[in-house]
Amino acid sequence: MSRGAPGEGVLRLALGAVALAGLGVAGYLTAVRASGGDPACVVGGGCTTVQESEYAELAGVPVAVLGLLAYGALLVAAILPGPLGRALGLFLAAARARVAATREGTARRSAPGPSATGPSPGSSR
């Protein structure tokens, strides 16, 4: 280990703290969605718009529920000792990257093209 680099114990504590915070937020959003209420926005606005958008679900499952599962698994990864915890953390990171890439591809395919929005800036039309 190089000097000044945090040890695995420190990283696991940080992962556990992030997982607990994520569980809190995802749990709140899941409860708000189940009750049909409007989520509170700490900064800005538009939380209700986001909660009701087409991107609030993935394969029919609310993203907040998926967040509960993912943050719960991260907490387990932070608690599990040795290689098993590390392997679970690596698997979750890879799964998260795959979901993000899938959602990005879906968003790009559903975005209107230049013909739907008019000529692009600098075009001769």
Whose tokens are 């696991």? That residue is 12
Q: What pairs with residue 69 in β-bridges?
A: none
| pTM (predicted TM-score) | 0.68
User: At a CB cut-off of 8 Å and minimum separation 6, what does 77 contact?
Assistant: 15, 85, 86, 88, 89, 92
Task: Please give the DSSP secondary-structure letter assigned to residue 56.
Answer: G
pLDDT digits (tens, 9 = 90+) for 29-66: 999 999 988 898 888 778 888 888 888 888 889 999 99
- Cα separation, 115 vs 119, whole angstroms: 7
pLDDT digits (tens, 9 = 90+) for 10-29: 888 998 999 999 999 999 99
For the domain made up of 10-111, give the CATH fold. Answer: de novo design (two linked rop proteins) (1.20.1440)
